[in-house]
A and B are shown apart, each in its own frame.
Chain A
Amino acid sequence: MKSLTLALALLAPLSAEAAETGRLVRFVSCPVYRDADSGKKSGCWLADARDSGERFDVSLSPYKPDWNRAVLVEGRTTGQPATPCGSPVLDPVRTSVLDEPCQRHMLPAEGFPGRRFVLPPRNLAPLSVPRKPVEGPFGPRTFALFFEFDRAFVVYQYSDFLLDQAAAWLAAARPKRVVVTGFAATAPETVSGRLLAERPEVAQERAAITAESLHRLLPELVIETRTETAATPTDLPDADGLPGQSQRRVEIRAEF
């Protein structure tokens, strides 16, 4: 009952909400896990923007928080109902786990259902499923994959999918060589009162792990790695319109 009234209350000012749909938010805080249960992977992640006092539902991030650590939230507000988790939904959203420790905290479901798990659109099909052949013509082309803040981990059901798309195309296109450029967002920015900057080394780490994966997938490929620090935002579509996400990337450029 409580959840219903709450949900209705949140639904009511839809028009007001809609007006500011798409507002970019970026903050650091401690995540809260809400133990909603609609089966596997259905729990809720919430995070509070301390300056504004807003609590957001950040569960739709492709890489999710750790309740022991602070999290960098980057997302856009939506008009989506708060029904699943009890807070306004950020979508798209990213939650990067930071080193800073947090008090772990779990809320009970309090009647919120969470979200029944559905496979994200960016997911790899098993090798046993025949692939559609990649069609030419083939010319110079650049692919990109994206990372968590200050990490070089190729995220499951996000960047592995993007990497695989690139690899499938490269396998068919057979470029003369491939240039893999790792970017790092090293220019410090103040977020929630903290100065955040990626380590310059992470550019190299990102390039190296991507190049190693490409080498394993396509042993014949000629690969060169480069790095670029002080990365600036781009409008690459798979960063989903989040400037911070678009900075933390690797570009794979095919040259013929």
Chain B
Amino acid sequence: MTLPRRLPLRLAWPALGAAALVLGAASRPAADDPWWSPGEGRVFPATLDYPNAHGVMRTLLSGGPLPTRGHPFFEPIGTNGRACVTCHQPADGMSLAASTAAARWELTGGRDPLFAAIDGSNCPTLPQGERASHSLLLERGLFRIQRPWPVREWQGRPVTPDFTLEVVRDPNGCNSGPRYGPAAGNVSVYRRPRPVSNFKYLLAVGFAYDPKQGIALPRDPRSGQMQSGNLMADNRAGSLFEQMADAATSHLQLMGRLTPQQEARILDFEMRLHTAQQISHAGGPLDTLGAEGGPAKLRDSQPGALGSIGTPVWSEFAAWEKIPAAEAAKLSPEQLAFRQSVARGAQVFRNKTFLITDSSGINAPVGFGNPVRNSCVFCHNMSQMGNDVAPGQVDLGTTTLPFADPWPDLPLFRITCRGKPHPFYGRVFYTYDPGFALTTGRCADAGKITLQSMRGLAARAPYFSNGLASDLRGIVDYYERRYSIGYTEQEKQDLVNLMSVL
């Protein structure tokens, strides 16, 4: 097997402790530092590999290398010294791992712009020099997201929310006081950065309808094209343009607006990126012996296909279901076992069914019934990506009681539906993050979070919108708790191994 040129040096990294890692980063020439600082002017290569705990993540930039000097994704164009790349790091699958945030804190004594008071701390009102004031970012990789409340408009139409929002608990101070909280016209929730890559899939429109809302997809006022509805946890942005405007004023504290040139350059960069795990520590290169792991397959496939009627989801690893003896002999026993486990994991993902219950977006109002028997692939149904072909707003319970884990350090809201009760939670219920309901103003949408892509997982723990799962096993454990699936230990490990190679 031929390893990428710069690999051996990097592969040694995960073995080093966090302290050594940041020290190493400081003494290493900038061009080799996994941390991309704003405005450093590196060239973004056509192929960029970084190690992670499970192997090597690869990001491909179609159209060749990009000098980042002066590029609005990489320059600190706002007022707080951050760039987009600050929170969307190539080494972290174009998201940001909580461990990376913690390492930055150690290295910079908390002075990196990453920790800007606005959203890199639990609340700007807290003493910013103290580590504890940034605990949500350092421990769970969460940023503060402030949404206006009440919702006044959605998809160009005026909205009056059909529920009230009361603050039950405000451990960080950003949902109470003179400037923060529903009484002050806003709500703060805490979320993980979503990966900035593979957007042709997240923007793909497979069907003209949103089956979960029972309506045709909205059109982008700018392009006239239909919108996929698959951006942001709460889908507050229908397009990458809307998203970057939101990001620039919030995360970057840009005072004005992005210029049309800046918008075009950010969009161009975003659309050229494809990211996936390329090499597995345990299994070796992911595109060998007939397997099609890695980002090249993503780059070269047509987006937006429904796995159930076309290329099955994660069939990239189907060839490893039956590795011919002659080929198997060339692998170490561990590599062979791991590859077989990945192939089984893909089958478990598609074929092991369980009863999906009380999850709005699926069990209501679509017509599937409550409960409905299905597998992971029911919701994660897009070929090559595992996001939802239809707009993916589903309430898995990750942010809403009783299904979410108890978390004293997150704010807790009480929702009271004014009209019809929520189909599963009733009239009054409790949530850390109402999700999609903060965008639509509808009680029935509370707790719905847009499905992410399943790519690049190996480099961007923790998982789910609020970092509920600290590692890949934590994802499987959550589903097991939530739906009493009854996975065997082997099946759990197979799913973990599958997710580690995406």
Contact = CB atoms under 8 A, between A and B. Distances in A.
A39 interface: yes
A45 B369 contact: yes
B203 interface: no
A4 B370 CA distance: 28
Contacts of A35: 355, 373
Contacts of A68: 358, 370, 424
A156 interface: yes
Contacts of A43: 355, 369, 371-373
A216 interface: yes
A107 B294 CA distance: 44
A213 interface: yes
Contacts, number: 110
Given A33-B371, A127-B205, A127-B206, A156 B211 contact: yes
A41 B368 contact: yes
A42 B206 CA distance: 25
B173 interface: no
A158 B372 contact: no
A65 B369 contact: yes
B47 interface: no
Contacts of A41: 368, 372-374
Nearest to A217: B216
Contact of A37 (B214, B309, B353): B353
Interface string B289-320: 00000000000001011100100000000000
B366 interface: yes
A37 B373 contact: yes
B13 interface: no
B209 to A, nearest CB: 5
B444 to A, nearest CB: 11
B417 to A, nearest CB: 12
Interface string A26-70: 000000010101011111010000000000000000111111100
Interface string B204-216: 0111110100111
B81 interface: no
Contacts of A154: 209, 214-215
A66 B208 contact: no
B375 interface: yes
Given A35-B355, A124-B209, A160 B374 contact: no
A148 B367 CA distance: 9
Contact of A156 (B214, B216, B218): B214
Contact of B208 (A39, A99, A127, A155): A127
Contacts of A151: 365
Contacts of A65: 369-370
A159 B215 CA distance: 10
A216 B219 contact: yes
Query: What is the size category of the interface that chain A forms with chain B?
Result: 35 or more
B215 A209 contact: yes
Interface residues of B, number: 40
Interface in B368-393: 368-375, 378
A61 to B, nearest CB: 8
A99 B375 CA distance: 28
A97 B218 CA distance: 27
A35 B358 CA distance: 16
A228 interface: no
Contacts of A240: none
A66 B206 CA distance: 28
Contact of B309 (A66, A126, A157, A163): A126
Contact of A66 (B305, B364, B378): B364
A212 interface: yes
Nearest to A95: B369
Interface in A150-186: 151-160, 163-164
Given A127-B206, A127-B208, A213 B216 contact: yes
Given A37-B353, A40-B373, A158-B367, A127 B207 contact: yes
30 contacts: A33-B369, A35-B373, A37-B353, A40-B373, A42-B373, A43-B355, A43-B369, A43-B372, A64-B368, A65-B369, A65-B370, A66-B363, A66-B364, A124-B209, A126-B207, A126-B304, A126-B309, A127-B207, A154-B209, A155-B366, A156-B211, A156-B368, A158-B367, A160-B211, A160-B214, A164-B209, A209-B215, A213-B215, A213-B216, A216-B219
Given A39-B353, A216-B226, 16 more contacts: A35-B373, A40-B374, A43-B372, A45-B369, A67-B370, A68-B424, A126-B207, A128-B305, A153-B365, A154-B215, A156-B211, A159-B214, A160-B209, A163-B216, A216-B218, A217-B208
Interface of A: 33, 35, 37, 39-43, 45, 62-68, 97, 99, 106, 124, 126-128, 148, 151-160, 163-164, 209, 212-214, 216-217, 219
Interface of B: 205-209, 211, 214-219, 224, 226, 302, 304-306, 309, 351, 353, 355, 358, 363-375, 378, 420, 423-424
